[in-house]
Amino acid sequence: MQIRLTDLGVKKLSLTEKGQVTHWDTTTPGFGVRVSSKRKSFVVMYGKERRLKTLGRYPDLSLVDARKDARLFLATQNLSDDPHIDHDYQVVVKTYLKDCEARLRPSTLEGYVLYLTKITFSGNIGQIAQADIVKAIEAYTDSPSSQNYAFTTFKVFFNWAIRRQFLASNPLNALRRPNRTISRDRVLSDEELKTLLQFTLHNRGRFHDIVTLLALTGQRKSEIAGLQWSEVDGDTLVFPPGRTKNKREHRVPLCSQALDLLHSIEGGQLHVFGTPAEDQPYNGWSKAQRRVVKETGLDHFTLHDLRRTFSTIHAKIGTPIHVTEKLLNHVSGSISGVAAVYNRHSYIEEMHTAIAAYDEYLANLLSD
């Protein structure tokens, strides 16, 4: 018996005196409710042998959830050769992500979820428009690398759908991958930097404190993530040659906000980076980064963008470029080659002056 199943209709179905009757849903082929003398159960029929699977009992399982479960189950059975099966895009996405759970790292899977759920299209996957996919990819306007990851994620997904016979062809075949050679130029605006610092300063934690120090010092994330108490010398960070990219000792003054952060740690233990006896570099960047972006509501940014933002602010407040390069520990900038050989000035006083100006700039920014 075929009827259009509704909540009220399922509720009104009477139990049988003996035997059982199955009422098949006209809106979801293969899905129905089986009524016996004792219960009502949602079922789905699948395969060439027309086997039956019980999804759950009514009312413990609602009609809405049962219909979703049926569509998901039918999608996993590779029944695309059946013309009566409508392979909804959202259902196929859920099937693909479920398949990925067993073979991908959680961080990779989280990225797949992030990109694939950008498309709100609902309907047969074969009817999805190329424009819907392009729109989802181009949503990452400030991040060429994210556009590349999104493009790859969608292409792999659609190829998987083809292998499972949910789809005849890949809608991305006619599109070129976004340009990989585009350099990042993302700089956080004053308002974005203020939002970020207010969030990380008021939500203390290992990753949040690392982000704060990256914004306050302009140093590389590997240097800050591996920071040890032995590298904190009063109001200066001293990175030994083995901890810097250019293999040279690097001294960088700390602004008052960075000093306050370090001094706020109780008991002399570096809460962010581990105890003096157990200093361990931070791990798990991607997941924590995505969480901060989501919780602050900021447009996508990378931790290296904070280094670029630091440099940009120094240009704005008048720090000479060669002093900024000293703060960043650049060796291929304005003082390089022969000039670097003969100019052995440390510029430490100039760096202190620049950091004092930067400190004042941040204080004004956060007080607004």
Lowest mean per-residue pLDDT among 27-31, 165-169, 289-293, 337-341: 337-341
- Tell me: pLDDT of 92 over 70: yes
pLDDT at 86: 61
Return the percentage of the chain with pLDDT > 90, whole number: 30
Whether 128 and 135 have beta carbons less than 8 Å apart is answered as no
Provide the pLDDT for residue 277.
41
Q: What are phi and psi of 41, to 5 degrees?
A: -130, 140
In this prediction, residues 298-303 reach a mean pLDDT of: 87
Residues of the chain with CATH 1.10.150: 89-163
CA angle 313, 208, 149 (to 5 degrees): 80
Please say if the pLDDT value at position 196 is more than 70: yes
Higher local confidence (pLDDT), 200 or 80:
200
DSSP characters over 130-167? HHHHHHHHHT-TT-HHHHHHHHHHHHHHHHHHHHTTS-
Q: What is the pLDDT of residue 313?
A: 94
- What confidence tier does 144 reach under pLDDT thresholds 50, 70, 90? low
pLDDT of residue 183: 52
Q: Is the whole-model pTM more than 0.85?
A: no
Domain 190-367 fold: hpI Integrase; Chain A (1.10.443)
Residue 77: predicted pLDDT? 64
C-alpha 272: how far from chain center: 22
| CATH 1.10.443.10 domain residues, the chain | 190-367
Residue 343 has a pLDDT of 42
Residue 218's pLDDT is what? Answer: 93
pLDDT tops 90 at residue 140? no
Please state, for a pLDDT cut of 70, what percent of the chain lies above it: 84
Of 184, 128, 222, the residue nearest 312 (C-alpha) = 184
Mean of pLDDT values over 255-261: 91
What are the start and end residues of each CATH 3.30.160.390 domain in the chain?
2-76
Please answer whether residues 322 and 347 qualify as being in contact, where contact means their C-beta atoms are separated by less than 8 angstroms: yes
More confident residue, 216 or 302: 216
What was the pLDDT predicted at 32? Answer: 92
Top-confidence residue, 337 or 125: 125
Query: pLDDT band at residue 309, thresholds of 50, 70 and 90?
Result: very high
Task: For residues 59-76, give the mean pLDDT.
Answer: 83
Render the burial of 81-105: b for 16+ CB within 10 Å, e for the rest: eeeebbbbbbbbbbbbbeebeeeee
**Closest to 260 (Cα-Cα) out of 213, 328, 313:** 213
Strand runs labelled E in the chain: 2-3, 21-25, 31-35, 40-46, 51-58, 232-233, 236-239, 250-253
Contacts of 284 (CB under 8 A, 6+ apart): 107, 207
Q: State residue 83's pLDDT score.
A: 43
Stretch 53-66: mean pLDDT, rounded? 90
**Between the ranges 47-61, 199-213, 256-270, where is the mean pLDDT highest?**
199-213
Distance CA 357, CA 63 (A): 64
Domain 2-76 CATH superfamily: Integrase, DNA-binding domain (3.30.160.390)
In CATH, the number for domain 89-163 is 1.10.150
Determine how many CB atoms are found less than 10 A away from the CB of residue 161. Answer: 23
User: Mean of the pLDDT values across residues 60-81?
Assistant: 76
- For the chain, the average pLDDT equals 82
pLDDT of 337 > 80? The answer is: no
Residue that the structure tokens 């991305």 belong to: 172
pLDDT tens-digit readout, 11-39: 999 998 888 899 999 888 889 999 998 89
Q: For position 358, what pLDDT does the model report? A: 95
